Amino acid sequence: MRRAVKRTNALIWAWTIFVLVVIYLPIICGGLASFNKSRYFGFPIKAYSTDWWDKMFASIEIGMIVKTSITVALLVTVFSVVIATFGALAFARYDWKGRRLYQKLIILPIFFPQPVLGLALLLGFNAVGIQTTWMTAVFAHMVWIVPVVTLVIAIQVYGFDPSLEEAAFDLGCSRLQVLREVTLPLLWPGIWSGMLFAFLLSWSNFPLSLYTTGADSTIPEWLYAKMVAGYTPMVPALGTMATVCAAAILLAGGLVGVLVRRRQAA
Amino acid sequence: MADIALARLPETANELRRARMLSLGARCALPVAILLGIGFLAPMIAILGYAFATPRSFDVFRSFTLENFATLFDPTNTVWLSFLWSCGFALFTVAILAVISYPIAYGLNMVFGRASPLISVLFVFPLFVSENVRLYGWVLFYIKNGVLDGTLKYFGLGGGPEVLFTPGMTLFGMVYTYLPFMLFPMTLGLALVPRDLVDAARDLGAGRLFIWREIELPLAMPGILIGMLLTFVLGIGATAEAKILGGQSVIVISHDIEIAFTYSQNWPLGSALSVVVTVFIAALTLFALSKLDLDRMLGRR
C-alpha cells in the first residue's frame, strides 16, 4: 500500500514538472530568439548578440508604448483596488438583500470573452461620442479586472473574524476608525495580492486594449501589430522584457507579502 | 408620526447591527455596481440596439429590423460552421484540460505540501505574460528551422513535423492558454474534500478507485464544474490561438465577429452575432452559478 502511494506521488510530481516545463517552453524560446544576431530565427542559434535589445532601448516609439502601458496599469491598479476592497466586503462579509444576485453579476464579466467585451465597449464609447485613448483603456481594463480583484480580496475577507470589528465598535470607535484601524490592516495581504493581480493583468492585457486604446498603443498591442505585419526581431526582445518586468514585480510583491504576513503574525 | 410609532424598532444590539449591515453591504457594493453598470451592462445594451438596426448602417435605436438575425440563421451562411468549430474546440479543450489538470490539482492539495504555494505561483505567472507573446513563442518552437525542427536536425533525426497552422495546433494553443483557468477552480474544489472522510473510507477497506468515484470526485465537483465552465466559455471566445498558431486554417466565431466590426464595417451584423454568443454564454454561466454555493467554495481555504 505505502509503496503504491509513493509511486503515485512520484508520478504526480513528474507530471507536474513536465507540464511546467511545457508551460515555460515558449517563453524561453522567445527569450532565446531575442538574442539572435540574425534577422531571421534559426535554431541552434549561430551568433548571439544584444543588438535587438539595444535597438529596443534606443527606440523612442517603444519608450512611448512602455510609458503608456505603465500609466494604464498603475491607474487601473489604484482605482480597481479601492473599488474592489469595498466590493469584496459586500461580496463576502455583509449579509444584504441583493448579495446573491451581486455575487453572480460580478462573476459574469470574468467569464465573458474579452474580445467581445472589448468590441462592446468600443461600441459603447462610440455611441456616447467618446474618442478612444489610453484613458478609455483604463476604464475598459477595470471592467474586467475589478471583478477579478474583488474575488481575490473576497477570499481574504472570508478568513476574517468579524468579532474583531464588533469589539472595536463596542469600544466606541467610529466606522471610519474601525475601517482604518481594524478592517484594512487585517485585509492588507488580500489587498496587496489584489494590487499585484490588477497591475500584472492590465500590463499583459491584449484583447481589451486592442479595441479601446485608439491611437495609443500598449506593449501587447504593439507586439501583435508587429507579428501580423512588419515583423522585427524587436518583438521577442520587447516580449521578453515585458515578461521579465512582470516576474520582477511578482517576486518583489511576493516578498513584501511574506514580510507583511510575518509582521502580522508577530 | 404614526408610521414611525408602529414600526418595530431594532431593540437588541445585535438587531441594530444587522439593520446597519444591510445598508452597509449595499453601499459597499455600489461603486462596483456602478462600474459594471456603465462598463458591462451599458455596452451590452448598445450591442443589443445595434443588433436590431438596419444592416450596414449606424442608425442605432432609430430603426428596427430582424434582418441581421435572418442573415445569421440563413443556412447558406458559414457562420454556423464557425460557431460549431468554436464549440468543438472549447469542448475538446475542456476534456483535455480536465485530464491534464486533475493530477496537478490533487498534487497541490495532497502531495506537494510546503512546495505547493510556489508551484501555484509558477502556474499563475503565465497569466501575466501577454497571450500573444506566449503563443508567438510556440511559433518559434514549431516553425521550420525553429527550436524543435533545429534540434532534431542537429541530432540528425530528419526534421520536426509540420504541425503549425493546422486546426490541431489551434486546439493545442487553447489547451495551453487556458490551463490555469481549469487548474485553480479544480484545486479549490479538491480542497473541499475532507481528508478524514477519505481516511475513514480507507480504514473501512474501500479501494482507491472506489474512494475516488464515491467520495473525492462528487465532493470536488463544484470546483471541477467551475473550471470546466470557465474554460468552455473562454474557449468559445478564443481568437488569438486560431490566428497566431492556427494560421486561420479554421475561422472561429470571435473572428467572425471581429471581421464584421472591422473589415466589413457591418456593425449591426456583428452585434447580432455577439448577441447570439452572449446569450449562449450568459445562459450557461448563470445556470451553472445557480447550482453553486460561492460562499462555501471561496470561504474554505
Q: Is pLDDT of B125 > 70?
A: yes
Chain A CB contacts of B277 under 8 Å are 113, 116
| B160 CB-side CA count, 13 A | 19
Range of B7-11, B101-105, B220-224 with top mean pLDDT: B101-105
Q: What percent of chain B has pLDDT over 90?
A: 32
Q: Which residues of B266-284 are buried (b: 16+ CB within 10 A; e: fewer)?
A: bbbbbbbbbbbbbeebeee
Give me the mean pLDDT over the B154-160 stretch.
80
- Which amino acid, residue B106? Y
> Nearest CA to CA, how far is A8 from chain B (Å)?
10
Q: What percent of chain B has pLDDT over 70?
A: 92
What distance in Å separates the CA atoms of residue B251 and residue B249, rounded to the nearest whole number? 7
Supply the pTM of this predicted model: 0.88
Judge: A112–B151 Cβ closer than 8 Å, yes or no: no
C-beta of residue A87 within 8 angstroms of C-beta of residue B229: no
Chain B CB contacts of A2 under 8 Å are none
What distance in Å separates the CA atoms of residue A26 and residue B142, rounded to the nearest whole number? 10
Give me the mean pLDDT over the B170-187 stretch.
94
What distance in Å separates the CA atoms of residue B261 and residue A191, rounded to the nearest whole number? 38
Which residues are within 8 A (CB) of A40 and not within 5 positions of it... i.e. 6 or more apart?
Answer: none
| pLDDT score recorded for residue B14 | 67
Q: Which residues pair with A36 in a beta bridge?
A: A48
**Chains A, B: CB contacts under 8 A, how many?**
283
Give me the mean pLDDT over the B211-223 stretch.
88
Q: Is pLDDT of B62 > 80?
A: no
Q: How confident is the model at residue A256 (pLDDT cuts 50, 70, 90)?
A: confident
Q: Cβ atoms within 10 A of the Cβ of B214, count?
A: 12
Q: Which run of H or E residues covers position B274?
A: helix B267-290
| pLDDT score recorded for residue A18 | 97
Chain segment B250-282, per-residue pLDDT in tens:
889 989 998 888 888 888 898 999 999 888 988
Give me the mean pLDDT over the B161-175 stretch.
91
Interface test with chain A among B28, B192, B271, by most A beta carbons within 10 Å: B28
Q: Is pLDDT of B151 > 60?
A: yes
Closest residue of chain B to A239, computed from CA coordinates: B133
Judge: B132–A25 Cβ closer than 8 Å, yes or no: no
**Among the ranges given (A23-32, A163-172, B51-60), the one the predictor scored with the smallest mean pLDDT:** B51-60
Closest residue of chain A to B271, computed from CA coordinates: A120
Higher model confidence: residue A218 or residue B300? A218
> Nearest CA to CA, how far is A264 from chain B (Å)?
18
| pLDDT score recorded for residue A163 | 85
What distance in Å separates the CA atoms of residue A127 and residue B217, rounded to the nearest whole number? 48
Judge: B151–A106 Cβ closer than 8 Å, yes or no: no
Phi/psi for A45 (5° steps) reads: -70, 130
Out of A26, A33, A95, closest to residue B134 by CB: A26
Q: How confident is the model at residue B38 (pLDDT cuts 50, 70, 90)?
A: very high
DSSP string, B110-148: II-GGGHHHHHHHHHGGGGS-HHHHHHHHHHHHSTTSHH
* Structure-block grid coordinates of residue A97: 438583500
Chain A CB contacts of B261 under 8 Å are 119, 122
Average pLDDT, chain B: 86
What distance in Å separates the CA atoms of residue B77 and residue B276, rounded to the nearest whole number? 15
Average pLDDT, chain A: 90
* Structure-block grid coordinates of residue B244: 497566431
What distance in Å separates the CA atoms of residue B83 and residue B277, rounded to the nearest whole number? 9
Give me the mean pLDDT over the B7-27 stretch.
67
Q: Is pLDDT of A140 > 90?
A: yes
What distance in Å separates the CA atoms of residue A151 and residue B295, rounded to the nearest whole number? 11
| pLDDT score recorded for residue B4 | 44
Give me the mean pLDDT over the B95-105 stretch.
96
Chain B CB contacts of A97 under 8 Å are 22, 26
> Would you call A48 helix, strand, or coil by DSSP?
strand
Judge: B31–A87 Cβ closer than 8 Å, yes or no: yes
Chain B CB contacts of A241 under 8 Å are none
**Among the ranges given (A189-193, B221-225, B287-291), the one the predictor scored with the smallest mean pLDDT:** B287-291
| pLDDT score recorded for residue A179 | 84
**Among the ranges given (A27-41, A133-147, A251-265, B9-23), the one the predictor scored with the smallest mean pLDDT:** B9-23
Judge: A127–B46 Cβ closer than 8 Å, yes or no: yes
| pLDDT score recorded for residue A53 | 93
Q: What is the DSSP letter of B157?
A: S
Chain segment B65-97, per-residue pLDDT in tens:
888 888 888 877 778 889 999 999 999 999 999
Q: How confident is the model at residue B7 (pLDDT cuts 50, 70, 90)?
A: very low
C-beta of residue A111 within 8 angstroms of C-beta of residue B229: yes
| pLDDT score recorded for residue B10 | 58
Closest residue of chain A to B232, computed from CA coordinates: A111
Chain A CB contacts of B151 under 8 Å are 43-44
Q: How confident is the model at residue A66 (pLDDT cuts 50, 70, 90)?
A: very high
